[in-house]
Structures are given as structure tokens and as C-alpha cells.
Amino acid sequence: MKPHTTSEPSVTAPLLDLQSLVVAVRRRRRLWCSVALLGLLAGAALAVLMQPPPTATTKVLVAHQDDQPNDTGTLIRTDVALLQTTRIAGQALRTLKSPEKPADFMQAYRGTGLTNNLLQIEVTGDSDAQAVARAEALAEAFVADHVRRMWDTAKAEAKGLLDQRDRMRDELAQVNKAIGERTQGSDPKASASIESLYARRAELNSRIADFDQRAADARTGTPRLVAGTQIVDAPRAVPHSLPRTAATNAVIGLVLGLFVGLALAAVGTVVADRPVLRRDIAAHLGASVIAELRRVPRRPAGRWQRRRTRGARERLTTTLARTVRGSAEPVSLLELGCARSTGAIALDVATALAAEGQVVVVDGLPGAQLAHGGRTPGGPTVVSGDGAEAVPPLARRLGVGSVAPGTAWTDLRYLGGRTVLVVRAGHGSAAWLHTVARQLADQHVPVIGVVLIDPDPRDRTDGTLWDGLHTALRGHDERLARQNGTGQPRTERPSKPAALVPDNDQEAR
């Protein structure tokens, strides 16, 4: 009877798996934490190395003759533009008795219109005292220039009005003379002309009085404008706190660095396409995940090693020992990105089997790491790949090899007729996992299962394949056909993605 299998999912895989992306970015926390730390240090260093020059500020209240409540700031913008002129800069430098050029001094200050009548001046210098002196001289020069312009305007306006008044007076004198001449003649026919002259004299008197009043108003309004233009905030040095600036820049650098680091990690994850979830690794290799282990540390584990990790290694050792014990063919452990962990697992399994008879570990790792490491007293026998032929026929053999890029695929079948893949999560790309599954199938080496090293602790996906037999193990199908006595290999089915059970919170063991 054909075993029950789940139906193949009809939904196509998403273009971007957000769950895998989040897990992969979280696993690359060293990258984005390093970039964030670099941004923090860069921000703090920038605050120390690029300290702002000593700066002083002052505020000037500017009164305008044409002030209007609905003014859009045109007058104060004009004052800001006038502040940036060589005339005011030169007058301030003369007050300071400085040999600096006005054009150069103009680069050391700026004006800002806070309101329609309030001007703020900021000046830099070599020291706080120099900056304050420059700000005071510049503010006084601006006020003096503004007052002089107001006086000049008032004088010009008053002079124009008085000139008009004088012309009216000359005309009035002529009108009075004509009236006197007409009165002496006492001609009855000239009465109408005399009435017009009287009317003209009255008009001229009115206009002369008006010009006098306007000239007086022009002279009277100028003192009000002059008194309204003054320094309302005395020049003072702008306080600068290096620790506060460094902290602010460091926080900004930290945020920017964190953003850049996360972006780099996300882009690198998408480009590299390295599966990290159990379900993805199982689907690409065509075999179920049978166990998960932490990566073996480079330093010997001591009391700090967690009981959970020891328990997982003991359960894995028991499972693999039972598998090797019940297999009629030698079993191999093939690593991808975790040679140290694979060697430790192989030695644990060999030690567990040593109580039942002689066990020889055939080291096919690059450099024969286990064989050159020496034999531990009381431990299993370890030989290199060249000494595999000298293994006694009655001894149980356990092969250890690698499926990393550069592997001699034809040598893997001599390590064992069946294999367990020990894969580090996030190490191999999806394309390389497909290559491993295809090459092992071509060498007629069925994959018993996958041991996942350094998995994501929050991974709750299922790594069990219910229809994984036909995914990549073509050689396995042929071997089963020969064992069934048909003599002919089964017709190979087209390769298709393995059906995965729905994700849940139970880990596949």
C-alpha cells in the first residue's frame, strides 16, 4: 500500500518571504550592530573634531517708517540684505580697528529676521570675547547706518515740502500785489477779478499751512523712528556644551548607522539567498531535519555549557548511533559550513558504538582534521581517507566528509552508502543546497536526514518532508527498485518541490 502523503501545495512561493528575511537579518545582527556602533563613534568623533567656532549673538529692534501690520517681511529682509554690505562691515571694522577686509569679515556673520521688526545678528570669532566685540560693533554700525538713513530721508522730505511752501509764498506775494493794484484803481468792472484773486490767496494760504504742517510732521516722526531702532539684547557668547553636542551627534549617528546596517543586511540577505529556516533547508535538500544543535565553540566548553545543549547532543548521539547500528551499509556525516561540529558529533557517535565493537572513523574532511588531531585515550580509532582500505572487515565504519564547494563528489560514496547532512543554517545558498542534493542522488547516496547547526532560536517552522523521497534522491529510487526485485529502475518522476506540513510551534525531531 502506498504511504499517505500530503497533497502538494498549489500556492506558488512568494517573491519575498518576510519571515525568512526577518530571521536572516536578525542572524546578521553583528553586521548591523557594528555599523550602528560605527555610526555612534563617528557622530561623537565628528562633534569633537569639528567643534563650531566661538559665536556671539545680539538682537536689534528696527523701526521702519512704512511699517504695516500686514507686512510679509519685505522690510526686515531688506535690513538683512543691508547688513551684508561692505559699508556696514567696513564701519564695524573701523570701530574694532581691525585690518581685516570687509569682504572677508562678511563671511563671519549673518543676519536673520525673527519678526517684521526684530533682527538677530550672529558673529563668529577666534574667541568668545572677540565674537562679542564683533557683534557689538556690527550691531552699533547697523543701528547708526539705519538712523542716518532715517534722518537723511526725513531731511530730504522736509526740504522738499519747504521748497514747495516757499514757491507757494512767492506766488502768494504776487497775488497780494495784484490785489493791491486792483484795489487802488477801484474800477467797478474789476470786482469779479478781485474776487478770484481773493480766492486764490485763501487757497495759497491753506496750502502753505499744509506744507508747514507736513514738514513739521516729517521732522517730528524721525526721532520716534530713531528711538525705536535700538539694541534690545546685548551681545553675548553662545554657550556650547561639547558633551551635549557629542551625545546628540552620537545618537544621530547611531540611528543612521542602524538604518544603514539593517538595509545592508536585508539587501545582502536577498542577494545571497541563504536559507535559514528549517522548512526551507529541508525543502532544498529533500530531507527532513532530525535534530538541531548549537555550534561547537572554539574554546572547550566548561561549566557554562547549558544542560539543554548537552541533552540535545545526547539525544542526537543516541539517534545517530541507532541509525548506524541498524544500517547494513556504512553511514557518513557530511558537513556544510560546520566541520568542527560535525567532527564532534562523529566522535560522540563512535564513542557510543565503541562499547559494541570496534569502530573506525574515516576522516574525509579537508586536511583530515580528526586524523591529525591525535587519538584520545579510550576513544575511537580515527584514520584518514587514504587509510580507509585498511579498516578491518568486521569493524564498524563511520565516515566524515564535506560537501562544501570544491568537494570531490565521486569520493563521497566511499565514506558511506547512506549519509546524514550536517548543515549550518544560513551558510549555503539555495542553489548550492540543490547542487548537494542532486550530486548525492547521482552518486546513489540517500540522505537519511539533516542535522541543523546554529539554528534560529525563534524558528517555529516544520522541517519534516512528507513527500521528500522523490525530490532529489533519484538514486535512492533506483536502489529501492533493485531491492524490490524488479531488476529495472523505476521511471523517474519529474522533480517537484516537496510538500511541507503547515507551520506550527512544534519542532521536528
Whether the per-residue pLDDT at 356 is higher than 50: the answer is: yes
Q: What is the pLDDT of residue 485?
A: 44
Q: Give the Cβ contact number of residue 68 at 10 Å.
A: 10
SS3 category, 333: strand
Q: What is the pLDDT of residues 35-90, one digit of tens each?
A: 999 999 999 999 888 888 899 999 999 988 777 777 778 889 999 999 999 999 99
Res 1 pLDDT > 80 = no
Question: Could you tell me if 58 and 83 are in contact, meaning their C-beta atoms sit under 8 angstroms apart?
Answer: no
For residues 333 and 306, which has the higher predicted lDDT (pLDDT)? 333
Phi-psi region of 252 (alpha: psi -120 to 50; beta: other; left: phi over 0): alpha
Per-residue pLDDT, 474: 40
230-237, strands of its sheet edge to edge: 109-113, 118-124, 55-61, 230-237
What is the spatial distance between Cα 81 and Cα 74, in angstroms, rounded to a whole number?
Answer: 11
Give CATH 3.40.50 domain extents, the chain: 275-298+307-483
Q: For a pLDDT cut of 90, what percent of the chain falls above it?
A: 22
**Cell reading at 409:** 563528489
Question: Which pLDDT score is estimated for 465?
Answer: 74
Could you read off the pLDDT of 251-302 as tens digits, one per residue? 999 999 999 999 998 888 888 788 888 888 888 888 888 888 876 555 555 4
Instruction: Give Cβ neighbours of residue 504 (< 8 Å, ≥ 6 apart).
Output: 460, 462
| Segments of the chain assigned to CATH 3.30.1890 | 55-239
CA Rg value for the chain = 48
Is the domain 275-298+307-483 a CATH 1.10.3470 member?
A: no
Q: What percent of the chain has pLDDT over 70?
A: 78
Q: pLDDT tens digit string along 413-450?
A: 888 888 999 999 888 888 899 999 999 999 889 988 89
Pick 255 or 408 by higher pLDDT.
Answer: 255
Report in angstroms the alpha-carbon separations of 358 from 39, 79, 380, 393: 58, 99, 8, 10
pLDDT of residue 190: 61
For the segment 360-369, the average pLDDT, to the nearest whole number, is 78
User: What is the pLDDT confidence band of residue 488, given thresholds at 50, 70 and 90?
Assistant: very low
CA distance 436 to 368: 21
If DSSP codes are grouped into helix, strand and coil, which group holds residue 306?
Answer: coil
- Read off the pLDDT of residues 93-136 as tens digits, 9 standing for 90 and up: 999 998 999 999 999 999 999 988 899 999 999 899 999 999 99
Supply the pLDDT for residue 51: 85
- The answer to whether the CB of 290 falls within 8 A of the CB of 451 is yes
Class of domain 55-239: alpha beta
pLDDT one-digit tens code per residue, 151-209? 777 777 777 777 777 788 887 788 777 777 766 555 555 666 777 877 887 888 888 88
For residue 248, how many other CB atoms are within 10 A of its CB? 14
Phi, psi angles (nearest 5°) of residue 117: -130, 5
Q: Which amino acid is at 337?
A: G
Single-letter residue type at 276: V
What is the pTM for the complete model shown?
Answer: 0.60
Q: What is the mean pLDDT of residues 21-34?
A: 86
Which pLDDT belongs to residue 43? Answer: 92
Structural contact between residues 409 and 340, judged by C-beta atoms closer than 8 angstroms: no
Q: Is 487 left (phi over 0), alpha (psi -120 to 50) or beta?
A: left
Mean pLDDT score across all residues of the chain: 78
Residue 8 pLDDT class (50, 70, 90 cuts): very low
Give the pLDDT score at 490: 40
> Which of 470, 474, 476 lies closest to 496 in space, CA to CA?
470
Please state, in angstroms and rounded to a whole number, the distance separating the CA atoms of residues 57 and 109.
10
Closest CA to 330 of 294, 355, 360: 360
